[in-house]
Amino acid sequence: MIEKLNSIKEEALNEIQDVNDETSINNFKSKFLGKKSAFSDVMSGMKDLSAEEKKNVGMVSNEVRSFIQDLIDKKADSIKKEGLNKKLEKDKIDVTLPSKKRRAGTKHPLTQVREEIEDLFISMGYDVVSGPEVDSDENCFEKLNLPKSHPARDAQDSFYITDDMLLRPHTSSMQVRYMTSMEEKHAFKMICPGKTYRRDDDDATHSHQFSQVEGLVVGENISLSDLKGTLECFAKRMFGTGREIRFRASFFPFTEPSYEVDVSCFNCDKKGCNICKHTGWIEILGCGMVHPNVLENCGFDHTKYQGFAFGAGIERIASLKYGVTNMRDYFTNDYRFLKNFDRKEI
């Protein structure tokens, strides 16, 4: 019996070499230690042995059983490790690779331009204010010296909500709001950027929604030269230090005198090109000295105070700066367009 046990041990030692996965290890276990195994046969023959023999065979059988069990445990362990190594090899991650960049949004070009304008005027001591996009006829027209019958209203037809409330057709309504809300009247400088609306058919250069920046300065000794100096700063900041501006006489009901302002063409430097339509100059905004009626309508004594005002289209400034030819690009949120204005590090 002892011989038998030793040969089982020998056989197990040989066969364990061929065991290399979980199934074969189970088979091996039942072959060598299972109920129908040769080992089990030896065990069942023990009952016929004498006490002395039982003791000897028992010792050897214990030794063989734990030897085989040990073979099984070690093999199972190495199979497990091997499996894990294989998996690690396959799923190898290179921690030194740069991580995937998260595509964060970017500031809209109109926001970028608006902020650039705000920064400039803040640096010159202006308040930056905002107000409602739905405003009264009184603030949008009446108090700006545009009574109901005034023909200049036609150029600014807007979206009416009631007979008296409308989507503001310009940020000039903020001149009225700012001045009338001031309890004690005093000199000030403000700009108001914001959205504006008009009943325009949308095309490459028109949109029913657009944005403007309004500027208003009121004080006791404000003159046209202050306006000129301010707008020159503005033009140089937006279009380059070499720029000049020129004033052309114009008409706005809320200013007297009124002007349209051109900037010297940044593309050809006044030689004439497609961008400036071969004139050397590009129109950028409307402005003028605040009409005395407007000052009075808003509670300012026009014999004491004067002021200047201007209004510029932000889309127009942005389009000139960046060569955008289709205004609709600003509103369709196409990433292919917007990514051109991405200032993130890449």
- The residues of the shown chain that bind ligand DAH, judged by CB under 6 A, are 170, 172, 214, 252, 255, 286-288, 309-311
CB of 156 to ligand DAH, least distance (A): 7
Residue closer to ligand DAH by CB (options 67, 159) is 159
Residue closer to ligand DAH by CB (options 19, 287) is 287
The CB density around residue 56, as the number of other CB atoms within 10 Å, is 13
CB of 287 to ligand DAH, least distance (A): 5
CB of 196 to ligand DAH, least distance (A): 7
Residue closer to ligand DAH by CB (options 19, 289) is 289
Q: Which two tokens stand for residue 102?
A: 């998260």
Residue closer to ligand DAH by CB (options 61, 175) is 175
Residue closer to ligand DAH by CB (options 166, 309) is 309
CB of 341 to ligand DAH, least distance (A): 25
Rounded (10°) CA dihedral 126, 131, 135, 138? -30
CB of 343 to ligand DAH, least distance (A): 30
In the bound state, the residue with its beta carbon closest to ligand DAH is 311
On the 0-12 / 13-18 / 19+ scale of CB atoms within 10 A, 44 is exposed
Residue closer to ligand DAH by CB (options 172, 264) is 172
CB of 221 to ligand DAH, least distance (A): 19
CB of 102 to ligand DAH, least distance (A): 40
Measuring CA to CA, which residue among 242, 248, 238 is closest to residue 288? 248
CB of 150 to ligand DAH, least distance (A): 14
Measuring CA to CA, which residue among 132, 202, 129 is closest to residue 168? 132
CB of 215 to ligand DAH, least distance (A): 7
C-alpha 302 chain-centroid distance: 46
Residue closer to ligand DAH by CB (options 61, 172) is 172
Residue closer to ligand DAH by CB (options 25, 152) is 152
Residue closer to ligand DAH by CB (options 139, 172) is 172
